[in-house]
């Protein structure tokens, strides 16, 4: 039996999807435990691109149960659409490989509207995530159990009335009404009925039977509501603690995998000490195609911040690093890594010689250019945790395994 957890170690968009996908073919269960359709995981399988927002990445694998845990915020309209897209790509989604915890909260059209009119200080994804979690904390939210024999219409009306003043005070109030929003919401929610189950029970029994379980984080450590760069954070726990509260099950995770991008990016507002607003940032953005998978927004880019990453490792107890997008650095003469801050809080950098080579076809660590190995070895040494995987391109095959994640 092995339990794995994969988490973004920075601000999200580290390239978790591919690593989750590689592992999930060996898993009996893959669990999403927090967040909602604000996440976007791009998977490339046999050259075909699929973006998943809510459905766990194990859906691409045969014989894998995919669970949306109680800590998630589920938008039935987007989820129904996503399931349709996945089916069109020839992948099965049914009650035998997909379930949603009855305790997961529903992102309603009211929440999405509130997110839209809330002003742009944080730069949210606009997916209604914050307002949904706010209602959860206020004990006025609606849970998935409501669509299996509950009173969805009554609960939705109460929620609408609670927020009616804010809705009607907005400049675009004429675009929203109970009647306009409820019908589609109810129809889409209805399509999910067969998946609503006691998810904690399933995870627990697979674990007891010795199955392989993977917990798939979304976003990244510094977007955690408690430990992130508050208030510029998302509304859930993106760090390891969220795995327990967001699934309702305690598991001992043998492998706690940090997904670390070889440089740094952030979408939305908030602190980003190594952000590069000059040509370097623009070159990183182009080399890494750094545009949001969910919103299409250009991502802010800069060099890796190892000092900050250390905090992420403290929070999450990582014991394995998957270093992603290393190939994107192949265009630079010099590569920088922040290793400390000066008295005024500005990053202090170490400079590495670039390798100026296309490494996207390299399959063995020892075949990487010496300067590239030096950079990777330094990250490993600084963090005190092995770099087990090095990703050199978006495809599943473009992954160098330094230390296997499983024993055959």
Tell me whether residue 73 or residue 249 sits nearer to ligand IMP (CB atom).
73
Give the active site residue among 53, 136, 163, 261: 136
Tell me whether residue 59 or residue 196 sits nearer to ligand IMP (CB atom).
59
Tell me whether residue 18 or residue 127 sits nearer to ligand IMP (CB atom).
127
Cis peptide before 231 (omega within 30 of 0): yes
Least gap, CB of 223 to ligand IMP (angstroms): 5
Among 321, 304, 402, 399, which Cα is nearest to 360's? 399
Is 136 an annotated catalytic residue?
yes
Report how far residue 397's alpha carbon sits from residue 46's, in angstroms, rounded to the nearest whole number: 9
Q: Parallel, antiparallel, or unpaired for β 334-341 and 304-305? A: parallel
Tell me whether residue 311 or residue 350 sits nearer to ligand IMP (CB atom).
311
Least gap, CB of 267 to ligand IMP (angstroms): 4
Tell me whether residue 13 or residue 327 sits nearer to ligand IMP (CB atom).
13
Q: Quote the DSSP letter at residue 172.
A: T
Least gap, CB of 169 to ligand IMP (angstroms): 21
Report how far residue 34's alpha carbon sits from residue 236's, in angstroms, rounded to the nearest whole number: 6
3-state helix, strand, coil in the chain (%, to 5): 35, 20, 45
For the chain, the residue count is: 408
State the residue number with the nearest CB to ligand IMP: 268
**CB-based contact 355:367 (threshold 8 Å):** no
Task: For residue 319, give Cα distances in angstroms to 7, 227, 262, 322, 407.
Answer: 12, 19, 17, 10, 16
User: If DSSP codes are grouped into helix, strand and coil, which group holds residue 221?
Assistant: helix
Give the active site residue among 21, 28, 34, 41: 41
Least gap, CB of 249 to ligand IMP (angstroms): 24
Least gap, CB of 285 to ligand IMP (angstroms): 14
Neighbouring C-beta atoms of residue 113, cutoff 10 Å = 22
Q: Residues annotated as binding site? A: 12-18, 38-42, 125, 139, 219, 234, 293-299, 325-327, 391-393
Tokens describing residue 280? 């370097």
**CB-based contact 49:289 (threshold 8 Å):** no
Footprint on this chain of ligand IMP (rule: CB under 6 A): 11-13, 38-40, 122-125, 127, 129-130, 218-219, 223, 232, 234-235, 267-268
Tell me whether residue 242 or residue 388 sits nearer to ligand IMP (CB atom).
242
Q: Residues annotated as binding site for IMP? A: 13-16, 38-41, 125, 139, 219, 234, 297
Is 13 an annotated catalytic residue?
yes
**CB-based contact 148:101 (threshold 8 Å):** no
CA 286 from centroid of its chain's CA atoms: 22
Least gap, CB of 9 to ligand IMP (angstroms): 13
Q: Residues annotated as binding site for substrate? A: 293-299
Report how far residue 93's alpha carbon sits from residue 17's, in angstroms, rounded to the nearest whole number: 18
Least gap, CB of 297 to ligand IMP (angstroms): 8
Phi and psi of 383, rounded to 5°? Answer: -85, -20
Task: For residue 118, give Cα distances in angstroms to 34, 106, 123, 127, 263.
Answer: 22, 19, 10, 12, 31
Report how far residue 98's alpha carbon sits from residue 68's, in angstroms, rounded to the nearest whole number: 8
Tell me whether residue 16 or residue 102 sits nearer to ligand IMP (CB atom).
16
* Location of structure tokens 């190892």: 306
Q: Is the dihedral of CA 347, 353, 356, 359 positive or negative?
A: negative
* Active site residues per annotation: 13, 41, 136
């Amino acid at each position: 039996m092995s339990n794995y957890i994969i988490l973004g170690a920075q601000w999200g968009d580290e390239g978790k999807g591919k690593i989750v996908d590689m592992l999930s073919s060996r898993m009996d269960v893959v669990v999403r435990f927090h967040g909602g359709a604000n996440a976007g995981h791009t998977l490339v399988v046999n050259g075909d691109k699929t973006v998943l927002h809510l459905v766990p990445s194990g859906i691409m694998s045969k014989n894998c149960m995919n669970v949306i845990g109680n800590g998630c915020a589920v938008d039935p309209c987007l989820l129904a659409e996503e399931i349709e897209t996945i089916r069109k790509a020839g992948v099965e989604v049914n009650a035998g490989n997909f379930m949603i915890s009855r305790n997961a909260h529903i992102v309603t059209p009211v929440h999405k509207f509130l997110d839209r009119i809330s002003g742009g200080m944080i730069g949210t994804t606009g997916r209604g995530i914050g307002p949904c979690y706010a209602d959860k904390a206020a004990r006025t939210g609606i849970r998935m159990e409501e669509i299996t024999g509950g009173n969805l219409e009554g609960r939705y009306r109460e929620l609408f009335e609670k927020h009616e003043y804010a809705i009607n005070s907005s400049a675009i109030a004429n675009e929203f009404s109970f009647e306009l929003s409820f019908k589609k919401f109810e129809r889409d929610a209805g399509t999910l009925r067969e998946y609503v189950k006691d998810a904690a029970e399933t995870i627990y029994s697979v674990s007891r039977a010795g199955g392989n379980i993977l917990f798939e984080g979304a976003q990244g450590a510094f977007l955690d509501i408690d430990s992130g760069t508050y208030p510029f954070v998302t509304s859930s726990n993106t760090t390891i603690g969220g795995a327990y509260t967001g699934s309702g099950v305690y598991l001992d995770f043998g492998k706690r995998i940090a997904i670390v991008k070889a440089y740094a990016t952030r979408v939305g507002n908030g602190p980003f000490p190594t952000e590069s607003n000059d040509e370097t940032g623009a070159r990183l953005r182009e080399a890494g195609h750094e545009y949001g998978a969910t919103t299409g927004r250009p991502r802010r880019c800069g060099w890796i911040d190892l000092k900050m990453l250390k905090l992420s490792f403290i929070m999450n107890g990582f014991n394995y690093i998957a270093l992603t997008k290393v190939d994107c650095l192949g265009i630079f003469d010099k590569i920088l890594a922040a290793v400390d801050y000066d008295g005024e809080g500005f990053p202090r950098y170490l400079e590495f010689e670039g390798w100026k080579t296309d490494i996207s076809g390299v399959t063995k660590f020892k075949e990487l250019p010496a300067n590239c190995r030096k950079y990777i070895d330094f990250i490993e040494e600084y963090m005190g945790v092995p770099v087990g995987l090095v990703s050199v391109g978006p495809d599943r095959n473009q992954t160098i395994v330094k230390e296997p994640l499983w024993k055959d």
